[in-house]
Structure 1
Amino acid sequence: MTPNLILLEVRVRKELFNLEKLVEELKTITRMRELKVNSMRVRACASILHDFYSGIEKIFINVAREIDQTVPKSEGWHRELLEQMTLDIPVKRPAVIGPELAMQIQQYLSFRHRFRNLYGYELEWGKMEGLTSNMESTLQQLKDSVEKFMEVLAQITE
């Protein structure tokens, strides 16, 4: 492995660990029976969902910076970065994630946009509930994809 790949792997694993902590934090909140679906619970879950997407994006930015050597900078850079991670770039790297996982992650990106552009009291539990219930499986799919990606990347660079 080249030093950049070692650094990339360490950074990616750190973010995956942080994402696991978010899943556990979300589980703790959802187990708290006294916290019915009220504004405090909605705000807490919304913050976790925002952080979840941000952590995924940090992984993608690290791949884009270290391997692709280009991070999108346009107004729609978040969507472009997500799409970039679905691309198989010959000689450089395989796709980091598949199109199905990208569609799931797109939902978290869309929520991130809502979270950042609404007041907390405007957030609706109904628009978040599916994201919270799918967060753990989305993370597992991401971990599986990233593991495969890192294995293939190591083979390419050897």
Structure 2
Amino acid sequence: MINKYLTLSARIKQELSEINLSIERAKKAWEKAHIQSDSLFLDSVALNLHDFYGGLERIFELIAESLDGVKPVGANWHQELLRQITVEIPKIRPAVIDVDLRKELDDYRAFRHIVRNVYAHNFLPEKMKPLVEKIDDIYSKLKEQLEKFCNFLENI
């Protein structure tokens, strides 16, 4: 049974590493988009912001399936999963992230939806700017909270 929790912790840490690479790529592409005035770099920003949230959602799905035993379904399952992960489940697990972080991450969830449903030439830099500007702060909070959760898993 303990292997299950150690494996989950290792997978969370591996995803965090991949997420960090997506963040660095998004920031680098954002810089290049402004230096070179090339909108093609905005496509890279959008894709990497998409990957940032996609990686987080993979972590949250792993936790929901492995520990909670249930993953939301239906049209709003992405929003519900984000809510589920902020709830402490007595005798099973603590909240994975806090409500304030959930609210901040919801902007990235919504942007990922845009990336999936809009042609790349319609991406708006003004929608991406606040996401890029606050991503380091959000990742710092996220990493701290997920490392705390991994510590919980490793000590079950």
Pairwise TM-score range, normalised by the shorter structure? over 0.9
Give the AA of the match of 1:81: L
Report the Cα distance in structure 1 between the residues aligned to 2:116 and 2:67, rounded to whole angstroms: 29
Aligned partner of 1:116 in structure 2 is 116
**Unaligned stretches of 5+ in structure 1?**
none
140-149 or 99-108: which moved more? 140-149
Aligned partner of 1:87 in structure 2 is 87
Aligned partner of 1:144 in structure 2 is 144
Aligned partner of 1:29 in structure 2 is 29
The C-alpha deviation readout for 1:29-80, integer Å capped at 9, x for no partner, is 23436432x4212211011110110001011011111111111121111001
Report the Cα distance in structure 2 between the residues aligned to 1:146 and 1:115, rounded to whole angstroms: 26
Pair 16,129 (structure 1): closer, same or farther in 2 beyond 3 Å: same
Aligned partner of 2:11 in structure 1 is 11
CA offset at residue 28 of structure 1?
2.4
> In the alignment, is the contact (CA less than 8 A) between 2:29 and 2:42 conserved in 1?
no
20-29 or 70-79: which moved more? 20-29
Secondary structure of 1:94's aligned partner:
coil
What percentage of aligned pairs have identical amino acids?
Answer: 34
Report the Cα distance in structure 1 between the residues aligned to 2:86 and 2:36, rounded to whole angstroms: 38
**Unaligned stretches of 5+ in structure 2?**
none
The C-alpha deviation readout for 1:78-117, integer Å capped at 9, x for no partner, is 0010000000100000000001100011000000111111
Report the Cα distance in structure 1 between the residues aligned to 2:46 and 2:26, rounded to whole angstroms: 10
> In the alignment, is the contact (CA less than 8 A) between 2:50 and 2:115 conserved in 1?
yes
Pair 122,30 (structure 1): closer, same or farther in 2 beyond 3 Å: closer
Secondary structure of 2:86's aligned partner:
coil
Ranges of 4+ aligned residues in structure 1 off by more than 4 Å: none
> In the alignment, is the contact (CA less than 8 A) between 1:86 and 1:96 conserved in 2?
yes
Report the Cα distance in structure 2 between the residues aligned to 1:25 and 1:119, rounded to whole angstroms: 21
23-32 or 144-153: which moved more? 23-32
Give the AA of the match of 2:125: W
TM-score, length of structure 2 as denominator length: 0.92
> In the alignment, is the contact (CA less than 8 A) between 1:94 and 1:153 conserved in 2?
no
Report the Cα distance in structure 1 between the residues aligned to 2:62 and 2:20, rounded to whole angstroms: 18
CA RMSD, Structure 1 to Structure 2 (Å): 1.5
Aligned partner of 1:47 in structure 2 is 47
TM-score, length of structure 1 as denominator length: 0.91
